[in-house]
């Protein structure tokens, strides 16, 4: 406590102007955090230049080399020195900072990279000679003639050599390389009609290709689906729903995966605003809310979504790396995402992801064995009679009966035409086995009926509203004036789901009614939880989630229990209701309610291929 404070100086500090090199190094600390940040800035510049093919190469995780080659419009010899000047840009004229329709607009990336590394730019405009310029640690060299057929090549070597302290904060080459791949993949998702390639040239030569996404043709959604299959895998593309919704001038496009294709972490959530990759908590919160009713808390949805709006309705200049945005009407943006995703999930009906069947087959397969050869083509009826007789040599009466046996022609039952087929059996008093035209379906009767009852209860709730329970003595909750005003702004929405609040003077509010479904409620704790969500996301689903949780518990207790034997007509009625009920492919916790196995998959299990 006796140590002199470092902020108490013996003399008055003098205000001085920093030189341009120091300013650029400071700016680089905000714009270029790691090699992946440099790749992102350079690829975005290439996209702004109208490139149709972009190739990225790096060495040693991007620490010693990053090279971005594009076929864009290029720059003239006169443009090159200006491109390395701070706040020099071709993207905007400075008159309107809200109408931004490009990735870059600040003019900071290239001078920042030149201040902390060795940067060389070679470029050519159609019809003019190519030129190049180099800058190392902020020292610019003169423009020189160069050889280049078209576009621009930006080469960055020895990143952070001018600020060696920054090198200590970089991670391993492997971790930095993965970050580069992620950055390129995000931009490739946003631009399916542009070709991307990523090479690791750490060992010299042509290197090895780590990512290749050829430019797609045709309409947006098929093109985007093919691009996502390349980047995220075919399983995502097979289990994702196309999203195309519009609301009050905002449009949402992309793909969102089925709830049964959920992940253990938020690793497949890619959000874009006007094609710009963002990590915005408002949008991420809306994505979570859309899946809240079909996923448990430890599972995360997978989605690639692009929110398209007038540039003047969103501010992209609120974060140094432009990773966050601010909407003029955040409620509209959030509501569009929630409603569009919920509608798409409901439209999917009873569909469950194909990975469920794959996991089931994987669990059934035994250790690899040498392939067996079967010659089991369908035999004729005479061959069948002879086989039956040969199998029962000690039972002549049975053999004679078998010889007389004439199987009736196979009839196609109408129930098998349904998506979930016709019930054939119940095993272990919990699983329904149904036969379809192409395979079998195994249904968890309790999980399936729980979802059906839950959806029924929700429809009743929506039709009749949430019953409110008046408190004998209103509960007074003391809040700050700001929190009280924020809560009262949402009073009408809260009243619609059974929570009635009124001002009580100063920062206090009075809770007069609570949802009857919740029984006895700690009103103060509930109010503070709602406020936390309002501050964090701009909206609150806490009360709605608690009501849904009560309905879910009611559905669990009111559904067919495990261990109950069901009659064939009951089993078939359950299958038909599943086919007609949205979201019936997963239970209230996001687990699948049924598994479908194709006959071809079952035959492979037994080597009948």
Residue 443's domain comprises: 416-609
Do 239 and 209 share a domain, yes or no?
Answer: no
Asked if residue 390 is part of any domain, the answer here is no
Q: Which of 348, 368, 390 is the last residue of a domain?
A: 348
* Spatial separation of the C-alpha atoms in residues 399 and 16, rounded to whole Å: 109
Query: What is the C-alpha to C-alpha distance for residues 445 and 47, in angstroms, rounded to an integer?
Result: 52
How many whole angstroms separate alpha carbon 199 and alpha carbon 207?
6
Q: What is the pLDDT of residue 110?
A: 86
Say if residue 170 is in the same domain as residue 239.
Answer: no
Mark whether 37 and 85 lie in a shared domain: yes
Query: What are the structure tokens assigned to 378, written together?
Result: 């369908």
pLDDT for residue 486: 87
Are the CB atoms for 276 and 308 separated by under 8 Å? no
Residues 6+ apart with CB under 8 A from 33: 321
Helix (H, G, I), strand (E, B) or coil at 283: helix
Query: Distance between CA atoms of 141 and 80, rounded to whole angstroms?
Result: 11
**pLDDT < 50 stretches in the chain:** 1, 93-94, 367-377, 384, 388, 390-396, 398-399, 401-412
Query: Would you state the pLDDT for residue 98?
Result: 60
Please tell me whether residues 88 and 144 are part of one structural domain: yes
Is 306 part of a structural domain of the chain?
yes
Regarding whether 270 and 153 lie in a shared domain, the answer is: no
SS (H, E, C) 582-608: CCCCECCCCCECEEEEEHHHHHHHCCC
Query: Which pLDDT value is given to residue 525?
Result: 85
Radius of gyration (C-alpha) of the chain in whole angstroms:
32
How far apart are the C-alpha atoms of 104 and 43, rounded to whole Å? 10
Kindly state whether residues 443 and 570 are assigned to the same domain. yes
Claim to verify: residue 193 and residue 320 sit in the same structural domain? no
Chain centre distance of CA 255: 8
Q: Are residues 330 and 206 in the same domain?
A: no
State the Cα torsion 287-289-294-298 to the nearest 10°: 80
Residue 13 lies in a domain: no
Segments in 435-490 forming alpha helices (H): 445-464, 481-489
Residue 501 in any domain: the answer is: yes
Q: Tell me the β-bridge partners of 300.
A: 263
Residue 388 domain-assigned (yes or no): no
Domain-embedded: residue 359? no
Show Cβ contacts of residue 21 under 8 Å, excluding neighbours closer than 6 positions.
Answer: 115, 137, 138
Query: Is 309 inside a domain boundary?
Result: yes
Residues 401, 392: Cα–Cα separation, whole Å: 11
Retrieve residue 431's tokens. Answer: 């699983």
**What does the block give as tokens for 61?**
């995780």
Domain with residue 462: its CATH number is: 3.30.1540.20
- Helix extents (H) in 426-567: 445-464, 481-489, 491-496, 523-537, 542-558
CA–CA distance, 416 with 72 (Å, rounded to integer):
57
Q: How many domains are there within the chain?
A: 3
CA separation for the pair 66, 198 (Å, rounded): 11
CATH code assigned at 117 = 3.30.565.10
* CA atoms of 317 and 106, how far apart (whole Å): 9
Q: What pTM does this model have? A: 0.75
Give the CATH number, domain containing residue 298: 3.30.230.10
Q: Does a structural domain hold residue 596?
A: yes
Interacting residues of 586 by C-beta distance below 8 A, sequence separation 6+:
258, 259, 260, 294, 352, 451, 592, 593
For 99-128, give one letter per residue: b (16+ CB within 10 A) or e: ebebbbbbbbbbbbbbbbbbbbbbbbbeee
Based on the fold, state whether residues 485 and 569 are members of the same structural domain.
Answer: yes
Residues 35 and 184 in one domain: yes
What does the pLDDT read at residue 412? 43
Give pLDDT tens digits for 575-597: 999 998 888 888 877 788 998 88
Inter-residue contact 160 to 166 (CB < 8 Å): yes
| Residue 456 vs residues 67, 240, 260, 552, 558: alpha-carbon distances, Å | 58, 26, 21, 11, 11
Classify burial at 301, counting beta carbons within 10 Å of its beta carbon; exposed 0-12, middle 13-18, buried 19 or more.
buried
Both 428 and 331 in a single domain?
no
Same domain, 49 and 65: yes
Structure tokens at 467: 């019953």
Q: H or E stretch including 104? A: none
Mark which of 302, 324, 348 sits at the end of a domain.
348
Tokens representing residue 442 in the block:
């195994």
Instruction: Specify whether the CB–CB gap between 132 and 123 falls below 8 A.
Output: yes
Q: What is the pLDDT of residue 155?
A: 96
SS3 call for 281: helix
Q: CA–CA separation, 187 vs 66, rounded Å?
A: 17
Measured CA to CA, the distance from residue 344 to residue 355 in angstroms comes to 19
Any long-range contacts for 557-565 (C-beta under 8 Å, 24+ apart)?
558/453, 559/446, 559/449, 559/450, 559/452, 559/453, 560/445, 560/446, 560/449, 561/446, 562/429, 562/430, 562/445, 562/446, 563/429, 563/430, 564/429, 564/445, 565/426, 565/429
Q: 220-232 vs 173-190: helix axis angle to the nearest 10? A: 170
Listed residues 188, 213, 238: the one ending a domain:
213
């Amino acid at each position: 406590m006796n140590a002199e404070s470092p902020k108490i100086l013996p003399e008055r500090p003098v205000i001085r102007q920093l030189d341009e090199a120091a300013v650029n190094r400071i700016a680089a600390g905000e714009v270029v955090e790691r090699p992946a940040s440099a790749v992102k800035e350079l690829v975005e510049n290439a996209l702004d230049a109208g490139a149709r093919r972009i190739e990225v190469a790096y060495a040693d995780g991007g620490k010693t080399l990053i090279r971005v080659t594009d076929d864009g419009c290029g720059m003239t010899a006169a443009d090159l020195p200006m491109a390395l000047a701070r706040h020099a840009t071709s993207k905007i004229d400075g008159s309107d900072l809200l109408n931004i329709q490009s990735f870059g607009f600040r003019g900071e990336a290239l001078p920042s990279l030149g201040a902390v590394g060795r940067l060389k730019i070679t470029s050519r405009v159609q019809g003019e000679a190519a030129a190049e310029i180099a800058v190392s640690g902020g020292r610019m060299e003169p423009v020189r003639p160069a050889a280049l057929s078209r576009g621009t090549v930006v080469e960055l070597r020895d990143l952070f050599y001018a600020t060696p302290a920054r090198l200590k904060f970089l991670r391993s080459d492997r971790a930095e390389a993965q970050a580069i791949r992620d950055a390129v993949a995000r931009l490739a998702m946003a631009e399916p009609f542009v070709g991307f390639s990523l090479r690791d040239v750490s060992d010299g030569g042509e290197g090895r290709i780590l990512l290749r996404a050829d430019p797609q043709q045709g309409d947006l959604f098929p093109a985007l689906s093919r691009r996502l299959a390349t980047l995220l895998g075919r399983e995502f593309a097979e289990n994702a729903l196309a999203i195309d919704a519009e609301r009050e001038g905002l449009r949402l496009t992309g793909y969102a995966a089925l709830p049964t294709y959920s992940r253990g972490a938020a690793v497949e959530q890619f959000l874009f605003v006007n094609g710009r990759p963002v990590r915005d908590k408002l949008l991420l919160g809306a994505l979570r809310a859309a899946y809240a009713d079909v996923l448990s808390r430890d599972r995360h949805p997978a989605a690639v979504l692009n929110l398209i709006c007038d540039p003047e309705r969103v501010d992209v200049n609120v974060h140094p790396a432009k990773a966050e945005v601010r909407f003029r009407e955040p409620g509209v943006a959030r509501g569009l995402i929630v409603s569009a995703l919920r509608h798409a999930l409901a439209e999917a009906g009873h569909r469950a992801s194909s990975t469920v069947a794959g996991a089931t087959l994987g669990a059934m397969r035994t250790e690899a064995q040498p392939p067996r050869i079967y010659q089991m083509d369908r035999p004729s009826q005479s061959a069948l009679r002879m086989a039956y007789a040969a199998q029962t040599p000690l039972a002549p009466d049975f053999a004679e009966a078998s010889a007389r046996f004439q199987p009736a022609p196979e009839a196609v039952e109408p129930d098998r035409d349904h998506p979930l087929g016709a019930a054939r059996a119940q095993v272990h008093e919990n699983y329904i086995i149904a036969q379809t035209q192409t395979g079998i379906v195994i249904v968890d009767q309790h999980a399936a009926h729980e979802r059906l009852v839950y959806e029924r209860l929700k429809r009743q709730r929506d039709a009749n509203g949430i019953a409110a329970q008046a408190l004998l003595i209103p509960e007074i909750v003391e809040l700050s004036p700001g929190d009280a005003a924020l809560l009262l702004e949402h009073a009408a929405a809260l009243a619609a789901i059974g929570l009635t609040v009124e001002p009580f003077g100063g920062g206090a509010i009075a809770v007069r009614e609570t949802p009857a479904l919740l029984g006895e409620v700690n009103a103060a704790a509930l109010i503070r939880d709602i406020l936390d969500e309002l501050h964090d996301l701009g909206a609150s689903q806490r009360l709605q989630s608690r009501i849904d949780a009560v309905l879910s518990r009611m559905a669990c207790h009111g559904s067919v229990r495990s261990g109950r034997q069901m009659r064939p007509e009951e089993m078939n009625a359950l299958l038909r209701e599943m086919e007609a009920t949205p979201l019936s492919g997963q239970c209230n916790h996001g687990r699948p309610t049924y598994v479908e196995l194709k006959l071809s998959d079952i035959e492979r299990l037994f080597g009948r291929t």
